[in-house]
Amino acid sequence: MHTMLVLSEEEEGLERALAAKHDELVKVVVASSTGGLVVDSRLLAALKTQQAAWLKYRTQECELIGSLTGAGGFWPSTWALDCEVKHTRSRLLQIRTAISCIENIPALKRILEQNECLQGLAPLTNNM
């Protein structure tokens, strides 16, 4: 029970950080509009939709992981929560990396080059 409470607290903090970082990412992408070039609304919608889908995927994947333990009591939920913490840390790193990558592109080139920085947000497809 103690392990689950500790993981739950960590997950809550990570969830807040993830939401804030994703909002920051969207703002960084929008801010790259320059010289009459405007960020494609389809890209912005895809970033938001993909994040919502990722959250759902993470929850369902980790529920499977917890169930596969075959453990009793709180352990399946604890393993599922541990899985969510690990996935959330990884996603947070992906988003931070994308933001840093975009911010390192000269302002006048960002709108043309930032999409490469966003590729890391789709690891399942990009690792095929």
Q: Rounded to the nearest 5°, which phi and psi values hold at 25? A: -60, -45
Res. 100 pLDDT band, cuts 50 70 90 = very high
Closest among 115, 121, 3, 9 to 17, alpha carbons compared: 9
Lowest mean pLDDT across 22-31, 74-83, 93-102: 74-83
Rounded-to-integer distance, Cα 48 and Cα 64, Å: 25
| Cβ 52 vs Cβ 70: under 8 Å | no
Helix (H, G, I), strand (E, B) or coil at 37: strand
Res. 17 pLDDT band, cuts 50 70 90 = very high
Q: Report the 10 Å Cβ neighbour count for 26.
A: 16
**Per-residue pLDDT reduced to its tens digit, 39-71:** 999 999 999 999 999 999 999 999 999 999 888
Res. 123 pLDDT band, cuts 50 70 90 = confident
Name the pTM for this structure.
0.90
